[in-house]
């Protein structure tokens, strides 16, 4: 079994796949430093396992998994591998320096996958499962095995495959609803039948991995837990392939709030949920819908007068959770405009950000710029500033300077200076129907690039007239998409920052993709 809380039968282990399945979402392209930042926050959140990536997919994936294995402490660090020898080798080489390494190998068990995707036979699947688990077990004690597309598979055959995995030493067996097809009742029955055909599954930890194609990922995951699974594979904000995965924040709070029903618990520090959600949203460019359960901006808002009146009299009349339980209490005043460098450093450390040296100087300069324009600087403001300014962006473009001129009788004209990855400064200018379009066109003029604007989102970090504006831009070119984020009290500046970063990510991603496309396409297309 895993090396964390093996004797507590009521403990549900949280397996986070934000950096693997989540990162496979269209348009998401995280660099190694961004993945490290998210992984460190996942450790603070208290997840049991971080699935750091798919090392065989590309050199970039391998590097990110290797760095996470070396630099992130606490959770088990897991790497994904198909049931193929090179994959398992790559997974082990990437995670071998982790304090708690795990290899996660998988193979399809549904006939539709065996015949049309894999183009082999059930006998090949049995042999592949045995060989891959044995190979992984020779490398490390903790081995997870998944039967991809299990819920559309013949249960007796799936049980046979699982029994082989257990025989070869698998410590965790995962039963994924890969295409989000099953229902809670069907999933429960599948687990019951599976265990009846393969009693040895009682000796290992069972896991669930549910996709949200029919909106049932959380419900199905919960059904699996009630059927005996003690690991849930999920992602922050529910991101992932197609419609996404089981939402970590939702399943964690479901287990916590309704412990009276099932008597189960997790090791999640729920007060870190909101901050983790915001971090992942900023890094990926995937905006969290306002009515998203647990972490959406409206999750604890009440518009109805009846609801407002009830909550004012007694919170529990209309709220089943306290907002502070998930970290929505972080908007308190932290620093004033006259606060010094030491006060900023201390505040950031309390929030979990280790900043020193030149990085602290950079953060302090940006803090002063914002503090001069805002009456109050809150923890949410600092979080946004650090995320915007301090994220490592190797070989990136940067908005060096901009100016927008407009008059009542002509369209706005923007002038910009963009710092190129090589350090040179490029200038550009352009008009547009509005100041935002003008600055976007001017950036393209300066860089000589071509891109199509696909999405443009504007939000406020906090309330008030002097709130920081937070902009997300999604660009597309040559069949690829990339996102960028910008933060400023000036929405035009925030828009320019976001556009330059999206363009930089798009150009960097295109260059990397050209070198890795053949491998990545073959590997990432089919996973649990």
Question: By percentage, how much of the chain surpasses pLDDT 70?
Answer: 89
Last residue of a domain, one of 267, 284, 301: 284
- Whether residue 504 sits in one domain with residue 421: yes
Please count the structural domains in the chain. Answer: 3
The whole-number pLDDT of residue 255 equals 98
CA distances in angstroms from 71 to 40, 121, 270, 377, 380, listed in the order given: 8, 41, 23, 31, 26
- Whether residue 251 sits in one domain with residue 369: no
Q: Are 483 and 451 in contact (CB under 8 A)?
A: no
- Whether residue 473 sits in one domain with residue 352: no
Residue 304 forms part of a structural domain: no
Does residue 464 carry a pLDDT above 80? no
- Whether residue 143 sits in one domain with residue 60: yes
Mean pLDDT, residues 393-415 taken together: 84
- Whether residue 381 sits in one domain with residue 433: no
Residue 367 domain boundaries: 333-389
d(CA 288, CA 365): 29
In the block, residue with structure tokens 């430093």: 33
Residue 497 forms part of a structural domain: yes
The whole-number pLDDT of residue 7 equals 81
Residue 297 forms part of a structural domain: no
Residue 81 forms part of a structural domain: yes
Q: Are 424 and 450 in contact (CB under 8 A)?
A: no
Residue 295 forms part of a structural domain: no
- Whether residue 459 sits in one domain with residue 500: yes
- Whether residue 444 sits in one domain with residue 367: no
Mean pLDDT, residues 151-178 taken together: 98
DSSP code, position 117 = I
Whichever domain contains 209, its CATH number is 3.20.20.70
Q: How many CB atoms lie within 10 A of CB 322?
A: 13
The whole-number pLDDT of residue 389 equals 66
- Whether residue 176 sits in one domain with residue 126: yes
- Within 13 Å and on the Cβ side, how many CA atoms surround 521? 7
Q: Which two tokens mark 341?
A: 């460098």
Which of the pair, 158 or 459, is modelled with greater confidence?
158
pLDDT band at 3; cut points 50, 70, 90: very low
Does residue 420 carry a pLDDT above 80? yes
Does residue 47 carry a pLDDT above 70? yes
pLDDT in tens, 188-227: 999 999 999 999 999 999 999 999 999 999 999 999 999 9
Does residue 318 carry a pLDDT above 90? no
Residue 449 forms part of a structural domain: yes
Burial label for 144, CB within 10 Å (0-12, 13-18, 19+), is: buried
Q: Is the dihedral of CA 501, 507, 511, 516 positive or negative?
A: positive
pLDDT band at 308; cut points 50, 70, 90: very low
d(CA 252, CA 415): 48
pLDDT in tens, 497-519: 999 999 998 887 655 555 455 55
pLDDT band at 361; cut points 50, 70, 90: confident
Residue 382 forms part of a structural domain: yes
Mean pLDDT, residues 135-156 taken together: 98
Residue 381 forms part of a structural domain: yes
Q: Which two tokens mark 270?
A: 């729920």
Q: Which residues contact 423 (CB under 8 A, 6 or more apart)?
A: none
Q: Are 72 and 46 in contact (CB under 8 A)?
A: no
The whole-number pLDDT of residue 172 equals 98
- Whether residue 428 sits in one domain with residue 385: no
- Whether residue 383 sits in one domain with residue 463: no
Mean pLDDT, residues 458-484 taken together: 88
Mean pLDDT, residues 94-101 taken together: 98
- Segment among 47-61, 76-90, 313-327 with least mean pLDDT: 313-327
- Whether residue 257 sits in one domain with residue 180: yes
What's the predicted TM-score (pTM) here? 0.87
């Amino acid at each position: 079994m895993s090396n964390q809380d093996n004797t507590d039968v009521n403990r549900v282990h949280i397996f986070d796949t934000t950096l693997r399945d989540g990162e496979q979402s269209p348009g998401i392209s995280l660099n190694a430093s961004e993945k490290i930042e998210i992984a460190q926050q996942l450790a603070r959140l208290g997840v049991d396992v971080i699935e750091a990536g798919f090392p065989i997919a590309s050199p970039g994936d391998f590097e990110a998994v290797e760095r996470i294995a070396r630099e992130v402490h606490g959770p088990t660090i897991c790497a994904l591998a198909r049931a193929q020898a090179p994959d398992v080798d790559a997974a082990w080489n990437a995670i071998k320096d982790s304090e708690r390494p795990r290899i996660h190998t998988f193979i399809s068990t549904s006939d539709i996958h065996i015949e049309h995707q894999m183009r082999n036979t059930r006998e090949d699947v049995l042999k592949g499962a045995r060989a891959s688990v044995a190979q992984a077990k020779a490398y490390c004690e903790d081995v997870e095995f998944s039967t991809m597309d299990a819920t559309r598979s013949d249960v007796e055959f799936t049980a046979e495959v699982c029994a082989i995995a257990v025989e070869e030493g698998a410590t965790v067996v995962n039963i994924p609803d890969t295409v989000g097809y099953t229902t809670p009742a069907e999933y429960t029955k599948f687990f019951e039948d599976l265990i009846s055909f393969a009693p040895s599954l009682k000796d290992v930890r069972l896991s669930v991995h549910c996709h949200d194609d029919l909106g049932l990922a959380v419900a199905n995951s919960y059904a699996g837990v009630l059927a005996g699974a003690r690991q849930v594979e999920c992602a922050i904000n529910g991101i992932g392939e197609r419609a996404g995965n089981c939402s970590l924040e939702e399943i964690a709070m479901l287990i916590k709030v309704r412990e009276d029903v099932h008597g189960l618990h997790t090791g999640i520090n729920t007060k870190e949920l909101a901050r983790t959600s915001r971090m992942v949203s900023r890094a990926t460019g995937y905006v969290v819908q306002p009515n998203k359960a647990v972490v959406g901006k409206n999750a604890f808002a009440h518009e109805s007068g009846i609801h407002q009146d009830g909550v004012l009299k007694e919170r529990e009349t209309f709220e089943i959770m306290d907002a502070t339980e998930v970290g929505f209490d972080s908007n308190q005043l932290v620093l004033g405009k006259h606060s010094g460098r030491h006060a900023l450093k201390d505040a950031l450390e309390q929030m979990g950000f280790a900043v020193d040296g030149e990085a602290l100087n950079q953060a302090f300069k940006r803090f002063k710029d914002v503090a001069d324009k805002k009456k109050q600087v809150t923890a949410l403001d600092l979080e946004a500033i650090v995320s915007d300014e301090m994220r490592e962006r190797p070989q990136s473009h940067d908005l060096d300077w901009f100016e927008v001129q407009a008059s009542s009788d002509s369209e706005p004209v923007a002038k910009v200076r963009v710092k190129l990855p090589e350090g040179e400064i490029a200038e550009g200018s352009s008009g547009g129907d509005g100041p935002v379009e003008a600055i976007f066109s001017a950036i393209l003029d300066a860089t000589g690039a071509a891109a199509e604007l696909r999405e443009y989102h504007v939000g406020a970090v906090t309330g008030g007239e002097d709130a920081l504006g937070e902009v997300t831009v999604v660009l597309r070119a040559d069949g690829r998409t990339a996102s960028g984020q910008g933060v400023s009290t000036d929405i035009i500046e925030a828009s320019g920052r976001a556009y330059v970063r999206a363009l930089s990510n798009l150009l960097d991603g295109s260059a990397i993709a050209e070198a890795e496309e053949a491998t990545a396409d073959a590997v990432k297309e089919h996973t649990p």
